[in-house]
C-alpha cells in the first residue's frame, strides 16, 4: 500500500510530536506548559518551580523544590571543562564554546550513554545546574579569568545573574532575570527542541541531543536573534535612528531580528508583551533606561505599520539583559541554559515513548541516468 505522503516546506503547520509538555494555543492566545499558562508561571513562581513542573509533571512541593534548587546550585562542573574552554580561541563564538562544553560533560557522567527516562530525569537538575554555571563563566573564562562557583546559600537565579555580572544584584534585577529564564524555559517544538527530539529518537543520549540543540539555537533566525537585537539598538542609538535603520534594512529586503514568528505569524508573542512589562519595571527600579524603552516602542510601531509584524520574546529580552549589564555574547547562551529544562523534558518524553524520526523527500532531481 503506497504510504500517505504530504509535503510542507520547513514542516510548517505539521504536527511532529505528541506531547504532554507544552502547546501554543494561538486561538486562546495561551502558552500551555503542563496545564499552566506560561505567563502566569512567569508572574507567580520561580524558575526552579518550572524545572520541577517540566521534569515531574507537577509543581514541586517545598521539599522537592529545595532538593531541586540545591542540586542545580551545587552541581559541580568538572575542572577539565573549564580547562578546555580556556584553550579555545577567545574569539570563538560563545555558542560554539558552549556546544563544546556541553559535549564534554558527557565524558564525566557514568550514565551518559543511558537513554533510560528515569535515569535522565534523576540527572536532569544536575545537568541544568552545570550548563548554567558554564554559561555564567563563559565570558569570564574567555578573558582568561578563573570560574566563579555558585553559592549554596543563594537561590539559583541570584547565583546565575550574580556570577554573570560579577557583582551583588538587587531583588528587582533578580526578579527581571528570573522572569526571562521562565519565559525562555519551554515553548513547544521550536527548531532546537525538534533537533533534540530527532537525535533522541535514535536512542542517542541526552548530551548528544542537547549538543544538537545548542547548534540549532545559535542561528540568527532562532536563539541568536536576541544578540542581534541589541546590536541593532546600539547601532541605531536613538528612536529616530532605529526608525531610519529599520526602513533602510527593509528597503534592502533584510530581516529585522526580534520580529516575526513561525507560529505567532502576525501577532505579538505573548512572552514579548510580558518581557516588555518586565523591562519597564526594571527601568522604574533602576531609574534609568527610559530612552531604550522608547526606542523599542518606536521599532515596534514601524514594524507593525510597515510589515504587519510584531515582536517575539527576543526583542524585549535583549534590552532587559542590556540593562542588567550582561555581556552581549551571553544572551543566547542564557537562552539555552534556561531552555535546558524544557529540552531535557522533551528528551525524556521522546525516550519514554519513542518513534524514530525518518521523514521522506519530494525528489526533484533527474532519473534514469546511466554511467
Per-residue mark of binding to ligand SDX, 274-303 (x: CB under 6 A): ------------------------------
Q: Three cell numbers at 245? A: 535603520
312 contributes a contact to ligand SDX by CB under 6 A: yes
Q: Which helix (H) or strand (E) holds 33?
A: strand 30-33
Stretch that binds ligand SDX, among 107-115, 200-208, 304-312, 324-332 (CB under 6 A): 304-312
CA separation, residue 300 to residues 145, 195, 235, 272 (Å): 39, 31, 17, 11
- Closest C-alpha among 164, 216, 143, 185 to residue 346: 185
Known catalytic residue: 222? no
Q: Tell me how far, at minimum, the Cβ of 150 lies from ligand SDX, in Å.
A: 25
Q: Build a one-symbol-per-residue string for 131-170: x at contacts with ligand SDX by CB under 6 A, - elsewhere.
A: ----------------------------------------
Q: Is the dihedral of CA 137, 140, 144, 146 positive or negative?
A: negative
For residues 224 and 337, what is the distance between their CA atoms, to the nearest angstrom? 14
Of residues 246 and 292, the one with the C-beta less far from ligand SDX: 246
**Per annotation, catalytic residue among 139, 187, 261, 351:** 261
Smallest distance, Å, CB 24 to ligand SDX?
7
Output 80 or 221, the one with its CB closest to ligand SDX.
Answer: 221
> 117-142 and 94-105 helices cross at what angle (nearest 10)?
140
Q: What is the rounded CA–CA span in Å between residue 38 and residue 188?
A: 11
Q: Is 139 designated active site?
A: no
Question: Segment 182-221, which members bind ligand SDX (CB under 6 A)?
Answer: 187, 190, 221
Residue 123 or 261 having the CB closest to ligand SDX: 261
156, 49 in Cβ contact below 8 A? no
Q: Which is nearer to ligand SDX, 3 or 12 (CB)?
A: 12
Q: Which helix (H) or strand (E) holds 32?
A: strand 30-33
From residue 210, alpha-carbon distances to 47, 89, 135, 194, 336 in Å are 19, 22, 14, 11, 9
**Which range of residues in 48-56, 60-68, 257-265, 362-370 is near ligand SDX by CB under 6 A?**
257-265
Kindly state the smallest distance separating residue 183's Cβ from ligand SDX, in Å: 8
Residues that bind ligand SDX (CB under 6 A): 187, 190, 221-223, 225, 255-262, 307, 309, 312, 314
Question: Catalytic residues, which ones?
Answer: 261, 314
Amino acid at each position: 500500500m503506497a504510504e500517505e505522503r504530504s509535503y510542507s516546506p520547513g514542516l510548517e503547520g505539521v504536527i511532529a510530536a505528541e506531547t504532554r509538555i507544552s502547546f501554543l494555543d494561538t486561538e486562546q492566545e495561551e502558552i500551555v506548559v503542563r496545564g499552566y499558562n506560561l505567563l502566569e508561571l512567569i508572574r507567580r513562581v520561580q524558575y526552579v518551580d518550572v524545572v520541577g513542573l517540566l521534569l515531574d509533571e507537577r509543581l514541586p512541593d517545598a521539599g522537592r523544590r529545595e532538593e531541586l534548587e540545591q542540586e542545580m546550585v551545587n552541581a559541580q562542573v568538572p575542572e577539565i571543562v573549564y580547562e578546555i574552554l580556556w584553550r579555545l580561541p577567545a574569539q570563538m563564538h560563545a555558542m560554539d564554546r558552549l556546544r563544546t562544553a556541553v559535549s564534554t560533560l558527557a565524558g564525566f557522567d557514568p550514565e551518559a550513554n543511558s537513554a533510560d527516562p528515569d535515569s535522565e530525569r534523576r540527572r536532569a537538575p544536575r545537568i541544568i545546574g552545570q550548563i548554567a554555571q558554564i554559561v555564567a563563566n563563559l565570558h569570564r573564562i574567555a578573558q582568561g579569568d578563573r570560574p566563579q562557583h555558585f553559592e549554596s546559600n543563594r537561590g539559583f537565579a541570584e547565583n546565575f545573574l550574580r556570577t554573570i555580572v560579577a557583582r551583588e544584584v538587587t531583588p528587582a534585577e533578580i526578579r527581571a532575570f528570573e522572569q526571562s529564564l521562565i519565559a525562555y524555559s519551554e515553548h513547544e517544538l521550536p527548531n532546537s527542541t525538534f533537533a533534540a527530539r530527532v537525535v533522541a529518537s535514535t536512542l542517542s543520549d541526552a548530551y548528544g541531543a542537547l549538543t544538537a540543540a545548542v547548534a540549532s539555537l545559535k542561528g540568527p533566525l532562532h536563539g541568536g536573534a536576541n544578540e542581534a537585537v541589541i546590536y541593532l539598538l546600539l547601532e541605531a542609538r536613538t528612536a529616530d535612528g532605529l526608525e531610519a535603520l529599520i526602513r533602510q534594512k527593509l528597503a534592502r529586503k533584510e530581516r529585522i531580528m526580534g520580529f516575526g514568528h513561525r507560529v505567532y505569524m502576525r501577532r505579538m508573542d505573548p512572552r514579548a508583551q510580558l518581557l516588555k512589562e518586565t523591562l519597564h519595571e526594571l527601568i522604574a527600579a533602576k531609574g534609568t533606561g527610559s530612552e531604550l524603552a522608547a526606542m523599542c516602542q518606536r521599532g515596534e510601531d514601524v514594524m507593525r505599520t510597515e510589515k504587519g509584524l510584531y515582536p517575539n520574546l527576543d526583542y524585549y529580552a535583549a534590552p532587559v539583559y542590556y540593562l542588567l549589564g550582561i555581556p552581549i555574547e551571553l544572551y543566547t547562551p542564557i537562552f539555552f541554559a534556561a531552555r535546558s529544562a524544557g529540552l531535557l523534558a522533551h528528551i525524556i518524553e521522546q525516550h519514554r515513548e519513542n518513534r524514530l524520526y525518518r521523514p521522506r523527500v519530494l525528489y526533484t532531481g533527474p532519473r534514469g541516468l546511466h554511467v
